[in-house]
Amino acid sequence: RLATEGEITGKACECVPCLAPAGIAAKQLLVVGLGKREELDPGVIYRAAAAAAKALAARKRAAVAFLADGSWSTRQLEHAVAGAAVGMVGQDIYRKDKKRTPFGTTIWLAAPADAVERGTHLGDGINLTRRLVNLAPDDMYPQAFADEASAVAGHLGIDIEVWDETRLAKERCGALLAVSRGSSRPPRLVIMRYRGPGRREGSPELALVGKGVTFDSGGLSLKPADSMMGMKCDMAGAATMLGTIATIAALKLPVDVVAAMGLVENMTGPAAYKVGDVLTARNGLTIEVHNTDAEGRLVLADVLDVVRGLEPGRIIDAATLTGACMVALGHDVAGLFSNNQASCDQLVAAAKTAGEPVWQMPMFRHYDPQIESDVADIKNVGDGRWGGAITAAKFLERFVGTTPWTHIDIAGPAFADKPKPWSDGGGTGVMVRSLVELVRGSPEETT
């Protein structure tokens, strides 16, 4: 009747409440739109479930039961369960009057218990990433991130190593250390290693690397006030990799994965690194600093070299690296850059399966001269702003050797300035679902 009365259009994320529905024990029924059948993918499902949970979490509820379309695969159900877990959590960390109250109990009707469990682990991983991004920068500094990572590692039985500034100096991480010098907060490098069932020997098949700039003031090349707002999100790459390895461990996936997160605060203190400085990165390359606000690539340079030394099968990094990537692709799409087409294609396929939009950008050799320096091996910016997302990726390429590597620039989608029907805005946890999907392999292979 709601449909014939025109109350329901079926548009994706449309929520139509129905109080005291006849013949149903629940006090309220919420009908959630899923859009056109041919456009349905786990992304639509995830967002629709999140939209429903967000609407219902506007007040306290003891129990909410979800009933999914009976035709969904278990993989689709998992994304729905994750979406619901994410939708009921807002940006309430520092508010007395919470906008969202997570449900007392969530029930999934007619869904296999193991799919619900897996979806819940995925939702937890995404919410972990979101919470770390949403914490205020003075609460989420390098050591604070390392503490969170240690707690996660402890719960899930993941090996963890935290390098402090002494160890970083011993390891000759000159680029990362330079960025951190303007801050009163010392830097950290967090290295986590998860070995799944049956994976005890050899090198990791996958290395995840995250940019963890817990606040990016720009350093001495100071950002204008308006651009500095929101720069607590500059550790989203690190938070994404922590959320991803946590989910992989919670799911007990049969893989061997290392995650390395470079954590610094980019500030302007008296010891701050300067424009004109020449840094020596861990791999021996010298870097002339042309702009202290191009700090993410300096941090990643050393972290990439550390994981390259572990001889992983491939490397994937995530970073809120460039405003230029947002100019190119907008707020919702992540940019991909790679030295290995097959490995990039696999990530594109996983993102498509998960319903997270990504777009591959070119890495033509003719960009290389742009990072040549007059005094050092390379410089940390291109010539002018044009193609800035690509010249940043070209810089990173110099630190991965011949290891297949894909860089994900999440400057656009990592943080939402405005609320969406399925989210209150803030940290999004983008790419956690795609990366977990990549590690799990296609549903056909694993069932």
Q: Which residues bind Zn ion (CB under 5 A)?
A: 213, 216, 234, 296
User: Total binding residues for ligand BES by CB under 6 A?
Assistant: 15
Please list, in sequence order, all residues whose beta carbon lies within 8 angstroms of the beta carbon of residue 254, skipping any fewer than 6 positions away: 196, 197, 198, 199
Out of 78, 148, 256, 293, the only residue in the binding site for Mn ion (CB under 5 A) is 293
Nearer to Mn ion among residue 293 and residue 437 (C-beta): 293
Among 381, 435, 438, 439, binds ligand BES (CB under 6 A): 381
Which of residues 14, 148, 216, 256 is near Mn ion by CB under 5 A?
216
Q: Which is nearer to ligand BES, 106 or 322 (CB)?
A: 322
Contacts with ligand BES, 270-309, as mask; x by CB under 6 A: ---------------------x-xxxx-------------
Tokens 């009365």 appear where? 5
Q: Is the dihedral of CA 93, 97, 99, 104 positive or negative?
A: positive
From the list Zn ion, Mn ion, ligand BES, none, pick the one residue 323 interacts with, judged by a Cβ distance below 5 to 8 Å according to partner type.
ligand BES
Shortest Å, Cβ 187 to ligand BES: 15
Structure-token match 């002494």, residue found: 166
Count of CB atoms situated within 10 Å of the CB of 144:
18
Please tell me whether residue 323 binds ligand BES under the rule CB under 6 A.
yes
Rank residues 236 and 347 by Cβ distance to Zn ion and give the closer one. Answer: 236
Q: Does 195 participate in catalysis according to the annotation? A: no
CB contact at 8 A, 423 and 99:
no
Cα distance between residue 416 and residue 32, in whole Å: 23
Known catalytic residue at 385: no
- What is the length of the chain? 447
Task: List the end-to-end C-alpha distance of the chain, in Å, as a whole number.
Answer: 38
Report the b/e string of 161-195 with b at 16+ CB within 10 A: ebbebeebeebebbbbbbbbbbbebbbbbbbbbbb
- CB nearer to Zn ion: give 281 or 410: 410
Residue nearest to ligand BES (CB): 323
Range in contact with ligand BES (rule: CB under 6 A) among 34-42, 140-148, 243-251, 321-329: 321-329
Among 234, 288, 305, 437, binds ligand BES (CB under 6 A): 234
For residues 429 and 240, the answer to whether their CB atoms sit within 8 Å is yes
Q: How many residues bind Mn ion (CB under 5 A)?
A: 3
Contact 261, 145 (CB under 8 A): yes
Cβ-based neighbours of 194, under 8 Å, separated by 6 or more? 156, 158, 159, 245, 248, 249, 255, 256, 257, 258, 259
- Minimum distance from CB of 129 to Zn ion (Å)? 17
Report the interface residues with ligand BES, using CB under 6 A.
216, 234, 291, 293-296, 320-324, 381, 388, 411
**Which residues are marked as active site?**
223, 297
